[in-house]
Amino acid sequence: MRQPTAQWAQGPLIPVISVLVALLLGALFVLLSGNDPIAAYVALVRGAFGSPYDVTETLVTAIPLTLAGLSVAVAFRTGLFNIGAQGQLLVGALAAGAVGARFGDLPAILLLPMTVAAGVLAGAGYGAIAGWLKATRGVNEVITTIMLNYTVVFVMHWLLQNGPMTARNAFGTPASARIGDGAILPIIIPNELVPLSRLHAGLLLAIVAVVVFWFLLWRTSLGYELRAVGLGPRAAAQAGIDPARRMVLVMAIAGGFAGLAGMIQVSGVFHRVFDGFSAGFGFDAIAVALLGKNSPIGITLAAILFGAFQRGGTIMQSDANISSHLVEIVEAIVLFVIAAETIVRALAKRRGTPAEAL
């Protein structure tokens, strides 16, 4: 199905080029707006990696980005576009917040697995809706997942503002009750090593999820079938794989990864759900998956890069007084260049380098 492409356009080259182009255009933009791009990027890098604490903060952001990236990528591998990671993440967070608070008295050995299960299952169920509608009614999953993203936002407003999850003592931002101690993912960096670090055991869950993603897709027959459907649904159907049934399953798996991301934000970082809870990780995840070429290592590296952008951007705004929204501009250009990969391909073809199937 893919077009033939020159050898040099394969592998990590396009992602690296797209990041470099985005950083260069971002610098140009900073310059045009009357600021010093070097100062901006120095502040950004220092903010992301300048001290052990900064590194752990970058990782804290990279964890949900990795998981949401896996969510988008597993769907991509099956030829589906999951724009719904954001909604699935929020549903997972709400379920984890509800279970973590409702059974708050239970010990961690019971409560933590329950909270993980709540987040994963809720996300999976929400993702499966889009898969089911695609399989049974032929509905484009892009439309359903966009609509489901917004639906959960307003359900969440209700739950947290004057619904069953609203905490009586929540002043200011509407929020749910604090989860029990048993539902909290512990900090894994000793205070003596990195004081006040927020790096939590969700890091381990994220690593497990990356391995599960790899194992599922490349070491199981189910994964083989999913990738076959992604590469060519018709050929896969010829080989006896039912694409429709796989769609429900893959969207549930995608939702499960995103739901886990939401659960980790509740159990590891905030210990409750509040309005405006997610910084759009589910949307950044699309860039993470594409930049990482839907591979386990690629997604992990892309998530760390975007985590560094976000953490560094905050520091850049406070230290160099340059709006942290620069990071969004850079991110958008990365995504745009990757999407317009055909430009690079077209250039490669013109150079007359030997073509080879991707």
Binding mask 239-278 for another protein (x = CB under 8 A): ----------------------------------------
Give the one residue of 52, 214, 336, 349 binding another protein; rule: CB under 8 A: 336
CA–CA separation, 100 and 324 (whole Å)? 33
**Given phi > 0 = left and psi -120 to 50 = alpha, else beta, which region is 11?**
left
Count the residues of the shown chain that bind another protein, applying the rule CB under 8 A.
Answer: 47
Contact positions with another protein (CB under 8 A) in 102-141 = 133, 137, 139-140
Can residue 333 be called a binding residue for another protein (CB under 8 A)?
yes
Give which of 296, 287, 347, 340 is closest to 9, Cα–Cα.
347
CA–CA separation, 325 and 303 (whole Å)? 18
Can residue 150 be called a binding residue for another protein (CB under 8 A)?
yes
176: three-class secondary structure by DSSP:
strand
**Given phi > 0 = left and psi -120 to 50 = alpha, else beta, which region is 138?**
left
Q: By C-beta, is 184 or 285 nearer to another protein? A: 285
Contact positions with another protein (CB under 8 A) in 166-225 = none
Amino acid 135 reads: A
Can residue 142 be called a binding residue for another protein (CB under 8 A)?
yes
CA–CA separation, 19 and 330 (whole Å)? 8
Can residue 154 be called a binding residue for another protein (CB under 8 A)?
yes
- In the complex, the smallest distance separating the C-beta of residue 30 from another protein, rounded to whole angstroms, is 9
Which segment (150-158, 227-235, 244-252, 258-266) binds another protein by CB under 8 A? 150-158
355: three-class secondary structure by DSSP:
strand
Q: Tokens at residue 276, please?
A: 């405006």
Q: Determine how many CB atoms are found less than 10 A away from the CB of residue 110.
A: 12
CA–CA separation, 27 and 36 (whole Å)? 8
Can residue 235 be called a binding residue for another protein (CB under 8 A)?
no
User: For 182, which DSSP code?
Assistant: G
Give the one residue of 36, 181, 319, 328 binding another protein; rule: CB under 8 A: 328
Amino acid 248 reads: V
Give the one residue of 257, 283, 306, 309 binding another protein; rule: CB under 8 A: 283
Q: By C-beta, is 52 or 125 nearer to another protein? A: 125
CA separation (Å) from 55 to 59, 114, 172, 314, 332?
6, 30, 31, 14, 24
Query: Is 218:90 a contact under the CB 8 Å cutoff?
Result: no
Give the one residue of 286, 299, 303, 308 binding another protein; rule: CB under 8 A: 286
Give the one residue of 144, 265, 278, 294 binding another protein; rule: CB under 8 A: 144
Give the one residue of 104, 329, 349, 355 binding another protein; rule: CB under 8 A: 329
Binding mask 55-84 for another protein (x = CB under 8 A): --------------------------x-x-
CA–CA separation, 211 and 119 (whole Å)? 19
Q: By C-beta, is 16 or 343 nearer to another protein? A: 343
Q: How many residues does the chain have?
A: 358
Q: By C-beta, is 103 or 132 nearer to another protein? A: 132
Q: Binding residues for another protein, per CB under 8 A?
A: 33-35, 81, 83, 133, 137, 139-140, 142-144, 146-148, 150-151, 153-155, 157-158, 161-163, 283, 286-287, 290, 323, 325-329, 331-333, 335-336, 338-343, 346
